[in-house]
Amino acid sequence: MKGMTEEQILLTAGEEKTASRFSACLLFSANALARAITAIGDEEFGRFGLCYSHAYLLCEVVAQPGISPSQLSETLYLTPSTITRLVEKLELKRLVRRESEGKKTLIFPTPEGEALQPEVSKAWDQVGARYSQILGDTNVCQLTQQVLKAAKTLGEDF
Amino acid sequence: MKGMTEEQILLTAGEEKTASRFSACLLFSANALARAITAIGDEEFGRFGLCYSHAYLLCEVVAQPGISPSQLSETLYLTPSTITRLVEKLELKRLVRRESEGKKTLIFPTPEGEALQPEVSKAWDQVGARYSQILGDTNVCQLTQQVLKAAKTLGEDF
DNA sequence: TATTTTTGCTTGCACATACAAATATAACAT
DNA sequence: ATGTTATATTTGTATGTGCAAGCAAAAATA
């Protein structure tokens, strides 16, 4: 079996095994893809000491100053607790600040945050350019839409 | 802007913003999809105290007794260090065992591991069934192939 | 108005994952 | 044989993420 590709294994392995591996493969492959692309993202955003979710969050906050954690949670498809943690990190880096208003929390960009945003956007484009070059523009476009749609559908129904 | 869907934002936001968000969206959406599906997986595999990568690793070890960490690393698209950590966990649960042979390490399933594998496979199918029901069979089939291919391509070129 | 329920956000804890460095063995060159 | 380089695996450390629980404020109900 050594040196065989995944497809070959799928084709030659026993019946049940093939079925089970294949049917769950989206769980596997989705994570594999996420890790592969995140690696690219981390490299680009790492120049600012950010990871991709920091970058995305910062852009959202700059685009919508005063946005709430729950809104961010929906937009980024991340748990509220995760949002809190990300905001904490960005607060430490003085890129955003929090304002409590009753039980709500408003998140604003700091001047530094706003100043950094264009660079972050540039890095963002750079990430896109890199994986587009590897995967092909058309492919990426199509894949992105399908993947996003699937993520949304699962997010709603689950 | 409240209550708008992602597409609406994309369509109505300013030019550069649209471009940057969209071009990097695969980074974002791939992670979102991975998290959404992983949530399902964790629920199913959680019954055995496993996560999806534990489950996958166990199945591989049962299928190929004596497999090495580096081989697993390639198959699972995970770092060698991550493989070590996963194997440690499974070793604690007495599902696999390690044998050192020179600088190589051979990983074998324990009897308990082999006994558990069918159940894990069943859970595996269950995961597939659940997201197939939500996303649609055809969709899943197509998506899985595309996603896997993209992950592989990125894994090679990066 | 007082009590209950719901909502929004934050923590405690746990875990998968990765990078960089360490270790140990094998392969190779001289 | 000996010194060097390459390979395989493991650790130290850090981080993003989520669940369950906590907490505080708002809303609803009585």
> Is residue B18's pLDDT more than 70?
no
The residues, any chain, with a CB within 8 Å of residue B132's CB and separated by 6 or more, are: A23, B140
Question: How big is chain B by its Cα radius of gyration, in Å?
Answer: 19
Nucleotide closest in space to A70 (CA vs C1'): C8
Confidence of residue B24 (pLDDT cuts 50, 70, 90): low
Distance A48 CA to D23 C1' (A): 35
pLDDT, average across residues A11-37: 68
CATH 3.40.630.30 given to domain A40-157: no
- Cα–Cα nearest to B48, from B127, B105, B102: B127
CA distance, residue B95 to nearest chain A CA (Å): 19
pLDDT, average across residues A102-113: 96
* Chain B from 72 to 111: CB within 8 A of any A CB: 75-78
> Is residue B105's pLDDT more than 80?
yes
Q: Does B27 touch chain A (CB under 8 A)?
A: yes
User: Quick one: pLDDT at residue A155?
Assistant: 79
Only one residue has tokens 């042979």, namely B101
User: Quick one: pLDDT at residue B156?
Assistant: 74
pLDDT, average across residues B132-154: 91
- b (16+ CB within 10 A) / e for B121-142: bebbbbbbebbbebbeeebbbe
Only one residue has tokens 């000491």, namely A49
pLDDT, average across residues A111-120: 95
- Cα–Cα nearest to B16, from A118, A144, A140: A118
User: Quick one: pLDDT at residue B155?
Assistant: 79
Neighbours of B21 (CB within 10 A): 21
Q: Are B148 and B155 in contact (CB under 8 A)?
A: no
pLDDT, average across residues A42-57: 92
Q: Over chain B, what is the mean pLDDT?
A: 85
Q: How far apart are CA A31 and CA A26, in angstroms?
A: 8
Q: Does A139 touch chain B (CB under 8 A)?
A: yes
The partner residues of B67 in beta bridges, in order of sequence, read: B107
Q: Are A40 and B158 in contact (CB under 8 A)?
A: yes
CA distance, residue A98 to nearest chain B CA (Å): 19
User: Quick one: pLDDT at residue B23?
Assistant: 56
Burial of A133 by CB count in 10 Å (0-12 exposed, 13-18 middle, 19+ buried)?
exposed
What token pair was written down for A98?
């929090």
Q: Which of A81-95, A101-115, A135-149 has the lowest mean pLDDT?
A: A135-149
Question: How big is chain A by its Cα radius of gyration, in Å?
Answer: 19
pLDDT, average across residues B6-33: 59
Q: Over chain A, what is the mean pLDDT?
A: 85
Confidence of residue B21 (pLDDT cuts 50, 70, 90): low
Q: Which CATH code of 1.10.10.10, 1.10.8.60, 3.40.50.11540, 3.40.50.300 fits the domain covering B37-157?
A: 1.10.10.10
> Is residue B93's pLDDT more than 90?
yes
> For B31-58, what is each residue's pLDDT tens digit?
999 999 999 999 999 988 899 999 999 9
Verify whether the Cβ–Cβ distance A157 to B134 is below 8 Å. Answer: yes
Residue B105 approaches strand D within 7 Å at CB: yes
Closest-CA residue of chain A to B39: A158
User: Quick one: pLDDT at residue A37?
Assistant: 94
* Beta strands per DSSP E along B22-110: 96-101, 104-109
Q: Phi, psi at residue B106, to the nearest 5°?
A: -110, 135
Q: Which of A99-108, B78-87, B148-157 has the lowest mean pLDDT?
A: B148-157
> What percentage of chain B reaches a pLDDT higher than 70?
84
How far CA A21 is from CA of A8, A27, A42, A132, in Å, comes to 13, 10, 30, 29
Amino acid at A55: A
Length of chain A: 158
Element (H, E) at A100: strand A96-101
> For A78-97, what is each residue's pLDDT tens digit?
999 999 999 999 999 999 99
User: Quick one: pLDDT at residue B55?
Assistant: 94
Amino acid at A101: E
Confidence of residue A23 (pLDDT cuts 50, 70, 90): low
- b (16+ CB within 10 A) / e for A20-55: bbbbbbbbbbbbbbbbbbbebbeebbeebebbbbbb
